[in-house]
Amino acid sequence: MSEATERDLVADLLEGDHRALARTITKIENRSPGYRDLVSALHEHTGNAAVVGITGSPGAGKSTLVDKLAVTYRERGLTVGVIAVDPSSPYTGGSVLGDRIRMASNVGDMDVFFRSMSARGTLGGLSTATGDAIKALDAFGKDVILVETVGAGQNEVDVVKTADSVVVLVQPGSGDDVQMLKAGILEIGDVFVVNKADMDGADRTVSELEEMIHMRDDPTAKLNTGHHAQPTVADAGSGGDEATDADGDGTASWTPAVVETVATTGEGVEALIETLADHDEYLDESGERRRKARTRAAEEIRTLLRNDTADLLERELARHGGVESLAASVVDRETDPYSVADRVVEPLRDCLDARDE
């Protein structure tokens, strides 16, 4: 893509051209030539959208809830972008579920932009391209961006790196889901949603979640889970209880709230949106939004450097005959893995040492 064409594409996207947005995300997902320049050009126009990650086990109702959230946000006059990260095809790397019918309630609404993307084998359920696609939607002017993840268990922690607020869905009566939360995913949730709350066991699941959250935040405190109140601004997002000073620096911390929904009917969706709004306000008032943005940027820089360095080293490997040839030499005891690594990295090391002189 020529520089002039890139500028035109960026200009069209910023002017609200949906075709330009779709083309940009396609180039981002395919890592087409020039995509990095596109993302770089869009970066200064980002930082305005509220990004909500939605994760949880398969079958918890994530897609239905995302659909209802988009409908409700639209009723409030907000524009919505949706990225649904689907499992990757082991043959093509493409999205296995990308052609399924989703977001049925929003068909024909130009202010809801839906895109299904492949996880491309990423353990965390999110491809590197997802963060760049979020930037494109943000620069386009979407008010809210919903990121629905694969739902592959505790490895979903990658969603934290892309979202301001993280919603974790749990099914009623699912002991496996609660055990999964104990295994690590509890740490990433800002809001926990017991979906299908009209099913038996919903109250028990809510109580179990509240107990886990309470014990996580204050293992020595007396347990009090007699209510399911939502956080308020005055409570600094405490889930109904007093805000805690987790860091001991006088800054209130957010205690995750538990919300009950029935996504098929839309019950509880308004309450969920209000809770997300409270969390959004907490992020601004506490300075947590900026801290999270810095962490996200630092991780993105490290990821890009790792990827770019890996590409350079692959070229150097090829110059030495390729990794298979080098591996054969290791097996034949002609050399060893450390010596191979030293030889391959040597030009990069020499270059950096020369710059230090």
Tell me the CATH number at 71. Answer: 3.40.50.300
Asked if residue 207 belongs to a domain, the reply is yes
Distances in Å between the alpha carbon of 349 and those of 69, 302, 313? 51, 18, 11
- Same domain? 183 vs 331: no
pLDDT in tens, the chain (357 residues): 667 688 899 999 999 999 999 999 999 988 899 999 999 999 999 999 999 999 887 788 899 999 999 999 999 999 999 999 876 543 444 444 443 445 555 666 779 999 988 765 554 446 678 899 999 999 999 999 999 987 655 456 677 678 999 999 888 876 555 665 555 667 788 999 999 888 888 888 888 888 888 877 666 654 444 444 444 333 333 343 434 554 455 556 898 999 999 999 999 999 999 999 999 999 999 999 999 999 989 988 998 999 899 999 999 999 999 999 999 999 999 999 999 999 999 999 999 999 887
- Contact between 111 and 142 under an 8 Å Cβ cutoff? The reply is no
319 and 258, same domain (yes or no)? no
Last-in-domain residue among 286, 311, 332: 286
Nearest CA to 190 out of 148, 160, 212, 219 is that of 160
Taking the CA atoms of residue 141, residue 128, residue 107 and residue 24 in that order, the dihedral angle to the nearest 10 degrees is 60
Q: Amino acid letter at 354?
A: A
Question: Distance between CA 162 and CA 134 in Å, rounded?
Answer: 8
In the three-class reduction of DSSP (H, G, I as helix; E, B as strand; rest coil), residue 256 is classed as: coil
> How far apart (Å, rounded) are the C-alpha atoms in residues 209 and 163?
22
CA 299/CA 157 separation, integer angstroms: 13
Range of the domain at 132: 47-286
Regarding whether 278 and 309 lie in a shared domain, the answer is no
Do 63 and 203 fall into the same domain? yes
